Amino acid sequence: MPLYLNDEQQMLRDTARDFVAEHAPPAHLRQLRDANDTNGFSRDLWKQFAEMGLTGILIPEADNGLGLGHVEAGIVLEEIGRNLSPSPFLTTAVAAVEALKSTPHAPRWFPGILAGETVAALAIDESPKHNGRIAMQAERAGNGFRLTGAKRFVAHGHVADLILVAAKTDRGTTLFAVPNDAKGLTATPERLADSSLASHLAFEAVEVDADAVIGEVDQGGTLLARLLAAGRTGASAELLGVGGGAMDLTNAYLKERKQFGVPIGSFQALQHRAAHLYSEMEVARAAVLKAQQRLDSGQDASEAVAVAKAMSGLATTLAVQEGIQMHGGIGMTDEYDIGFYMKRARALAELFGDANFHADSLAQAAGY
């Protein structure tokens, strides 16, 4: 499989690019923020994603989805990133779908996702840094389990119809599908720097039936790994979009802004930095496509996924930093979009583990 997009994937990219830019450009985010929206995204837009078939991109054809892969999901995510569109696409249509696929939960939740009615949230993290450790306990109780503990950084946690929760059980990890109205569950949404909302979730003896278990008891590690691989690869693609969008804005500005009577883009000092940034972004792009292709072909993708998340985080961080600096003072104003890119990049870089976390995991895998 050559490491570039084939013709069909390029067509999907063109379609997704037009659709997202038209319906959810950066102005859409600005509008939600200025209105102090408490939902975190537009339900109407989520419906439109569904009408385009995009919410079913990873859902198998047998379940009425498009049956496409992570390359295609990434194409959509990159456009979401480029436009800073607030959307539950990554958590719901990518990470949750991957975890639910081929389990008895698939027929329960996929129709709602396909219809653009269901939103899923991922209750994975318990500390300010993703560290892979789970303290939350799920004890057997009655016909099911009793969940006690806390989760944080749960995007859409306060409005999600379905919350995927990772918890410790007797002999391993178990993944639960918890409805948002479960008794004892409270969600406290917090506004983040990028204007999105992520919740602190408190589970006080939340009782769920045995059929809330996704897959099998104690065997959730495999599903969680699948969820995380999809989430990390998807977040990498969205990061590419954020970095690429910031780079495009900046390059346009370099061509238009004049100082000393000439466009500032004619200065070699800035040209070299722009060219270096381009190189970093291209290398990150290759790493992300590599991870997507490996996931889609069923090959071991753990190393490629770690490289993709770390590299896209590093490159996009540089893209937004250079974006602000090269815009000069105007880049610091709320009126210009470049600052929004910086804030979204930071949030996505933390999601599912930052560059340091993934570099560390590579080092451990290599035995040092």
Partner 1 sequence: MNQDLDQFRQETRAWLEANCPPSMRLPLRSEKDATWGGRNPIYAHPDQKLWMERMGARGWTVPDWPKEYGGGGLSAAETKILREEMAAIRARNPLNSFGISMLGPALLKYGTEEQKLEHLPKIARGEIRWCQGYSEPNAGSDLAGLQTSAEDAGDHFIVNGQKVWTSYADQADWIFCLVRTDKTSKQGGISFLLFDMASEGVSTKPILLISGNSPFCETFFDDVKVPKSNLLGELNKGWDVAKYLLGHEREMISNMGAGGIDPLVEAARKGVDPILRGQIALFQVRARAFAAMSERFIDELKAGRAHPAQPSMMKYYGTELNKIRHELLMAAGGSDALEWESEASIHGAAARAWLRTKANSIEGGTSEIQLNIIAKRILDLPS
Chain positions contacting partner 1, by CB under 8 A: 2-4, 251, 254-255, 262-263, 265-266, 268, 270-272, 274-276, 278-279, 282-287, 289-290, 303-304, 306-308, 310-311, 314, 355-356, 358-360, 362-363, 366-368
Q: Which residues in 121-138 are b (16+ Cβ under 10 Å) and which e?
A: bbbbbbeeebeeebebeb
To the nearest whole angstrom, how small is the minimum distance from the Cβ of residue 266 to partner 1?
A: 5
- Pick the closer one to partner 1 by CB: 175 or 307: 307
Three-state DSSP class for 62?
A: helix
- Pick the closer one to partner 1 by CB: 1 or 35: 1
To the nearest whole angstrom, how small is the minimum distance from the Cβ of residue 306 to partner 1?
A: 8
To the nearest whole angstrom, how small is the minimum distance from the Cβ of residue 317 to partner 1?
A: 12
Give the largest CA-CA distance in the chain: 77
To the nearest whole angstrom, how small is the minimum distance from the Cβ of residue 360 to partner 1?
A: 6
- Pick the closer one to partner 1 by CB: 124 or 281: 281
- Pick the closer one to partner 1 by CB: 62 or 368: 368
The alpha-carbon radius of gyration of the chain (Å, integer) is 21
316 close to 284: Cβ distance less than 8 angstroms = yes
**Spatial separation of the C-alpha atoms in residues 236 and 301, rounded to whole Å:** 14
- Pick the closer one to partner 1 by CB: 123 or 306: 306
319 close to 277: Cβ distance less than 8 angstroms = yes
Q: What are the backbone dihedrals phi and psi of residue 178, each rounded to the nearest 5 degrees, phi first?
A: -110, 130
To the nearest whole angstrom, how small is the minimum distance from the Cβ of residue 203 to partner 1?
A: 35
Classify the phi-psi angles of 133: left when phi > 0, otherwise alpha if psi is within -120 to 50, otherwise beta.
Answer: beta
- Pick the closer one to partner 1 by CB: 112 or 132: 132
To the nearest whole angstrom, how small is the minimum distance from the Cβ of residue 114 to partner 1?
A: 32
